[in-house]
Amino acid sequence: MSSIHSILKQYWGYDAFRPLQEEIIQSVLTGHVSRALLPTVGGKSICFQVPAMAMDGICLVISPLIALMKDQVEGLRKRGIPAVAIYSGMNRREIDIALDNCVYGTTKFLYVSPERIQTDLFTERFKQMKTGLLAVDEAHCISQWGYDFRPPYLQIAQLRELAPHVPVIALTATATKEVRQDITEKLQFRRGQLFQKSFSRENLSYSAFLEEDKERRLLAILRKVPGTAVVYVRSRKRTQEVSHFLNGQGIRADFYHAGLDNTQRSAKQDAWISNRTRVIVATNAFGMGIDKPDVRVVVHLDLPDTLEAYYQEAGRAGRDEKKAYAVALYHPSDMEDLRKRIGLAYPTEAFLRQVYQSLANYYQLATGSGFMASYDFELESFQKNYGLPAIETYHALKRLEDEGFIQLSEGFYSPSKLFFPVDKKTLYEFQIANAGYDPMIKLVLRMYGGELFSSFLPISESQIARQYGTDAATVEKVLTALHRFTIVVYDRQKDKPQLTFTTPRHEASRLPLDVRQMNQRREKDSRKAESVIYYVTHAERCRTQMLLEYFDEISDESCGVCDNCLRKKKEGKSDLGDYRHQIRTILAGKDLDLQLLVTHINPKDENALLETIREMAGTGEIRLLDNGNVRLG
């Protein structure tokens, strides 16, 4: 075990592991199938990156988010660890070279989207790789009951069959018992170990307030709680409105959403991370891959769709383990809006087919073509071109993604890349025959070196232009011409959302939609929305207890710092735990021996618990059976 400590110190600079990390790493190194449920700030990536460095072979990481993949790859490279990511929008030749380097080169970590593992190109190369570890990140995506279901995750079990002896670790930050069972089943984890860290955050105070004037209350919170803040809202327009309001009140604020280009996003993030901006007002596009430990307060002005999303976003406060606050502000109309959004999120079958057909027309795809083809995608342009309603179209695209026909990724920045697919002799002959291109070719090779003949390299047209004494547009024109001559492969900069067809194009009328499953998911989403409503409106129970219970972690320990706990203290109420609610939760769908029930709850005051059981039996809420078991009435 000394080797993993030296690896941790050498590459990450830490002297010790966080709770559970070392136990998980030991499990992986001894070849066990491992499941790690580590909530926000738990340090999931260390759990597969460190053992991978201690093992022979490559670590294949399956991850659903491009931004997260790029962030982790850049982090590994900065530590001197060879890593690469393959995602939608990449040139096929670039993918080919990246996979070759995984087979024959020194690449240690390969990050891929779940859609990518379905391709023949990937499967054939995977068979040739010396794989030491398979890591499934954001594993909740494999469950149709998870909050971010991705059908291609279901293909991972087939991938495992190609490398049955490779250790596997599945990681997620938020998963209910139902989702955890699904992960075990879908990944075919017949045996293995589960490591689960408590969802409790002792330094984080949760609150929810009914509020008519949310902006006024937000202003009061920010004036009372010093330090950096994140304010979450649902719409891009609202990010700007709230940011403008705060600046007008003397609080340095900025807005952030997925519609910004890379330069804007980077500038806004940097200003906030360096504390030049105090408050960032954002949609849920903000936060993934951004590690700022000293956020003192996260405020939700609009209700999220699920408690999973709320827990993740609220959990961005207090990562430095110092006192922090998570506040949800709601209005009576918000509950109705949340229920209405669930209805809008599931368009009719006919409309789904219409949108799919419009996509095929938009990109001029013939039936049977387009598998894993990626395109720039702008929702507003698409829906206006076909006269489609914006909100319904967005949700139709999300449902088509849920069904596994397309993949949507938010806008991400990918710099221009260049590769010479020819040998030096062929290039020299081209330069002799086409003297006008010779100076540009020599300059590019002088700036970026011979590696251009073996892999795609990021380039900057503006830097080349300065060296050449021209403008970037001229450089782009010359490189485009060389691309047409097949002397280079010139992959232009990307900064737009990408849409990828994850199956060959279907006839819209024969699109194999699973209507029954969509109806089940709609019912599930409705239940999740009701859990959010229950959480914010409940004025008695400890909010940490409610969140823990949602993730199947039963506790009668009150946090003592949420709004409900503080109010009880102020009113002089004793809090012996909400035993009634715990009893109903534990007995849901099963009988249990009375003593086991008491042991499971592990109360601070056993007499108070037994009195609660007697009261519930007296009112018929529960029944005491002849065999000594207890059952819900």
pLDDT in tens, 426-453: 999 999 999 999 999 999 999 999 889 9
The pair phi, psi for residue 83, each rounded to 5°, is -145, 150
Residue 43 tokens read as 């340090």
Q: Does residue 457 contact residue 418 with C-beta atoms inside 8 Å?
A: yes
Written as one string, the DSSP assignment of 315-341 is TTS-TTSS-EEEEEEE-HHHHHHHHHH
In terms of average pLDDT, the best of 179-183, 226-230, 233-237, 388-392 is: 226-230
In this predicted structure, what is the pLDDT of residue 67?
Answer: 77
Picking from 113, 451, 410, 431, the residue whose alpha carbon sits closest to that of residue 283 is: 410
Site of tokens 């891009």: 236
Q: How far apart are CA 479 and CA 202, in angstroms?
A: 56
Alpha carbon of residue 127 to chain centroid: 28
Q: Does residue 301 contact residue 252 with C-beta atoms inside 8 Å?
A: no
Q: How far is CA 612 from CA 92, 579, 582, in A?
A: 65, 7, 11
pLDDT digits (tens, 9 = 90+) for 383-429: 999 999 988 998 999 999 988 899 887 666 678 899 999 999 999 99
Ramachandran area for residue 577 (φ above 0: left; ψ -120 to 50: alpha; else beta): left
pLDDT digits (tens, 9 = 90+) for 125-174: 999 999 999 999 988 888 877 677 788 888 888 888 898 889 999 998 88
In this predicted structure, what is the pLDDT of residue 556?
Answer: 73
Q: How far apart are CA 370 and CA 373, in angstroms?
A: 5
Q: How far apart are CA 535 and CA 538, in angstroms?
A: 6
Site of tokens 């024969």: 510
Rg of the chain over all Cα atoms, to the nearest angstrom: 27
pLDDT digits (tens, 9 = 90+) for 527-556: 999 999 999 998 888 999 999 988 888 877
pLDDT digits (tens, 9 = 90+) for 199-208: 888 899 999 9
Q: One-letter amino acid identity for 307? A: L
Share of the chain above pLDDT 90, in %: 52
Three-state DSSP state, 154: helix
**Does residue 576 carry a pLDDT above 50?**
no
Right CATH number for 2-196 from 3.40.50.970, 3.40.50.300, 3.40.1110.10, 3.30.60.50? 3.40.50.300
What pTM was computed for the model? 0.75
Q: How far apart are CA 631 and CA 633, in angstroms?
A: 6
**Does residue 265 carry a pLDDT above 60?**
yes
Q: How far apart are CA 256 and CA 284, in angstroms?
A: 9
Site of tokens 């795609």: 456
Residue 602 tokens read as 């592990």
CATH number of this structure's domain 204-330: 3.40.50.300
Sheet harboring 253-256: ordered strands across? Answer: 204-210, 324-330, 295-300, 228-232, 279-282, 253-256
Half-sphere exposure of 460 (CA within 13 A, CB side): 5
Picking from 354, 383, 378, 460, the residue whose alpha carbon sits closest to that of residue 416 is: 460
Picking from 68, 66, 78, the residue whose alpha carbon sits closest to that of residue 44 is: 68
Q: Does residue 220 contact residue 207 with C-beta atoms inside 8 Å?
A: no
Q: What is the residue-averaged pLDDT of the chain?
A: 88
Where does the pLDDT of residue 244 fall: very low under 50, low under 70, confident under 90, or very high at 90 and above?
very high
In this predicted structure, what is the pLDDT of residue 42?
Answer: 60
Write out 459-479 in H/E/C secondary structure: CCHHHHHHHHCCCHHHHHHHH
In terms of average pLDDT, the best of 40-44, 77-81, 184-188, 620-624 is: 77-81
In this predicted structure, what is the pLDDT of residue 274?
Answer: 93
Share of the chain above pLDDT 70, in %: 96
**Does residue 574 carry a pLDDT above 60?**
no
Three-state DSSP state, 374: strand
Sheet harboring 168-172: ordered strands across? Answer: 83-86, 109-112, 58-62, 131-136, 168-172, 34-37, 193-196
CA distance from start to end of the chain: 53
The pair phi, psi for residue 556, each rounded to 5°, is -100, 5
Higher pLDDT, 105 or 204: 204
Alpha carbon of residue 596 to chain centroid: 38
Written as one string, the DSSP assignment of 546-596 is HHHHHTT-------S-SHHHHHHHHHT------HHHHHHHHHTTS-EEHHH
Write out 218-280 in H/E/C secondary structure: HHHHHHHCCCEEEEECCCHHHHHHHHHHHHHCCCCEEEECCCCCHHHHHHHHHHHHCCCCCEE
Domains 340-413+496-520 and 538-632 share a fold: yes
**Does residue 349 carry a pLDDT above 60?**
yes
Three-state DSSP state, 62: strand
Q: How far apart are CA 394 and CA 391, in angstroms?
A: 5
Sign of CA dihedral 140, 145, 147, 151: positive
CATH topology classification for 538-632:
Arc Repressor Mutant, subunit A (1.10.10)
Strands (E), 277-410: 279-282, 295-300, 324-330, 374-376, 406-409
Q: How far apart are CA 240 and CA 257, in angstroms?
A: 9
In this predicted structure, what is the pLDDT of residue 291?
Answer: 74
Right CATH number for 340-413+496-520 from 3.40.50, 1.10.101, 1.10.10, 1.10.3470? 1.10.10
Polymer length in residues for the chain: 633
Sheet harboring 622-624: ordered strands across? Answer: 592-593, 629-632, 622-624
The pair phi, psi for residue 583, each rounded to 5°, is -60, -45
Least confident segment among 115-124, 223-232, 302-311, 573-582: 573-582
Higher pLDDT, 238 or 554: 238
Write the DSSP symbol of residue 213. -
**Does residue 285 carry a pLDDT above 80?**
no
Q: How far apart are CA 209 and CA 331, in angstroms?
A: 9
Q: Domain map of the chain by residue range?
A: 2-196, 204-330, 340-413+496-520, 417-491, 538-632
Site of tokens 């006269």: 387
Q: Does residue 415 contact residue 441 with C-beta atoms inside 8 Å?
A: no
In this predicted structure, what is the pLDDT of residue 64?
Answer: 84
Where does the pLDDT of residue 575 fall: very low under 50, low under 70, confident under 90, or very high at 90 and above?
very low
